[in-house]
Structure 1
Amino acid sequence: MEGLQTQGIRIPRLGFGTFRMPGGDCQPVVESALALGYRHVDTAEMYQNEAAVGAAIAASGVARQDLHLTTKVWHENLRPDAIRHALDASLGKLGVDYVDLYMVHWPSRDMDLGAVLGTMQRFLEAGTVRAIGVCNFNLAMLRSAIEDIGAPIACHQVEYHPFLDQSRMLAYLRGKGIPLVAYAPLAQGRAAADPVLQGIGARHGASAAQVALAWLLEQDGVAAIPKAQRRESQQANLDALRLRLDDEDRRAIAALPKNLRYVTPPFAPDWDA
């Protein structure tokens, strides 16, 4: 599968998200995804499924070096000592010696960003983490991390789908050669029901969800991590890699509303900053 090279790692463009798959129910789902060929698995301490993800990886027979594994530290743990404890706990639950990408899951208003990223950079030196990144930063926070602190940010993970404009963020990231990883790429299921995407899909013998994924994955420097519990949906998402949109399709998608953000927890940053 095609990958994005960044900070010494390669991120497969289509990954497997595990948000809202807590506990043991997650293990057979991830085993299915790995059996189908997914090699990029995204989890987080907050998802409460790292042990299940680790068990699935162990059972899969996939060599560790052939897998890209991401996990994240929760915004309540953004102090140097707490970050160290969080990483140790994540590695233990996952049953691995290192993760390929360790990310700040959400920023916190009282974090010392320099101390946070400095702590994470020491994980790189220790070999417990191959690359570091951030999620859900606004542009001002991202600039601070990259330009003021000089952290080797490997990617930025944010909500991105056909109903949410991320052009400012993408322009900045592309200027720095940093990939964007799109979470909620199917707008939490809403893409499948959109008549415009359904119409495009009908012309290509594809589903609306596949159109949404194809639109993301054809963009320069963009990866996506849809979640799918059913094997059929997992395969359909993989099949979206082969879908080729045309200019008429892109114009129709461009005309969709672009201000629909579905992930808005109370601790989210000011997105316009």
Structure 2
Amino acid sequence: MNTIPPFGLGTFRLQGEVVRASVREALQLGYRAVDTAQIYGNESDVGQAIAESGVPRQELFLTTKIWVENFGRLVPSLKESLQQLRTEQADLVLIHWPSPKNAVPLPEYMAALAEAKAQGLTRQIGVSNFPIALLQQAIAAVGAGEIATNQVELHPYLQNRKLAEFALAHDVHVTSYQTLAYGRVLKDPVIAAIAQAHGATPAQVALAWAMQLGYSVIPSSTKRENLASNLKSRELRLTEGEMALITGLDRGERVTNPAGLAPAWD
């Protein structure tokens, strides 16, 4: 059974003492899911912050992602990640991006990911940045029900509904990253008006919107007040009318589209 927490801490672009402080503060505030990746270069810092937090490992949900250059040595690279994270097992390991130009065939790296799970290196496996066609292939490669989540860019300006519907129809949970679109949606008048009506922040509204649709969110912050504020989004319930207003904001605006890495998007 797929059990992805609805709310967690993202660590993209945070390194050194900055990420250690962010994880430390988040855990103190009550966060219990942390998302990192090999390419972030912060697994050892995340591992250190968790170890020093005093929070028992079994209370945490720890996610990391395999970088494309490690597909040929996926299991050994994951063992190195676990060593840096100071844990014997991840809760979730994702393929970070599809192999560029299919340099490593999809069935090959998905089989290696399934092998990592079989070896007990992770409780669940999944993918990230996979459009429908590749998600379909990934499901075929490892079997129905095996892919716990597809972590994709998803926010009020890029709602990715076609992909989300396909994923959910195939028992693949959706995790939204960039839920705030680098802060762009925070300036939106519709979001601001909804926030004002609830005595909430625009960030809380965007995060609550995604969670109310059934997605998970992993916002990051380096400020304790923002970490605490984001956490409160779990308690915010939007009306059907407010959800419909946010649905109307979709404009296909993608903020993460790295050249040479991005697949053919839906």
TM-score normalised by the chain length of structure 2: 0.95
Amino acid at match of 2:130: F
Please tell me the residue identity of whatever aligns with 1:170. Answer: A
Whether 1:181 aligns to 2:172 is no
Which runs of structure 2 are paired with 1:3-18 in the superposition (5 Å)?
A: 6=2, 10-18=3-11
Q: Which residue of structure 2 lines up, in the alignment, with residue 199 of structure 1?
A: 193
CA distance in 2, matches of 1:170, 1:265: 21
Q: Does structure 1 residue 112 correspond to structure 2 residue 89?
A: no
Letter in 2 for 1:123: A
- Which position in structure 2 is the counterpart of 1:234? 227
How big is each residue's C-alpha offset from its partner over 1:198-246, in whole Å with a ceiling of 9 and x where there is no partner? 11101110111111011001113x1010111101111111111111111
Pick aligned residue for 1:209 from 203, 216, 236: 203
Aligned residue in 2 for 1:98: 89
Aligned to 1:22: 15
User: Deviation above 3 Å: which 4+ runs of structure 1?
Assistant: none
- Residue 82 of structure 2 corresponds to residue 88 of structure 1: no
Tell me by how many angstroms 1:150 deviates: 2.1
- For 1:176 and 1:17, how far apart are their aligned partners in 2? 25
The unaligned stretches of length 5 or more in structure 2 are: none
Deviations 1:32-72 (A, max 9, x none): 00111111100001101111100111011111111100001
Is it true that 1:265 corresponds to 2:258 in the alignment? Answer: yes
Q: Give how far 1:23 is off.
A: 2.3
How many percent identity over aligned positions? 41
Q: In structure 1, how many angstroms separate the alpha carbons of the residues matched to 2:15 and 2:154? A: 23
Equivalenced residue count is 262
How far apart are 1:76 and its partner, in Å?
Answer: 1.9
Once the 2 structures are TM-superposed, how far is the Cα of residue 154 of structure 1 from its aligned partner? 0.9
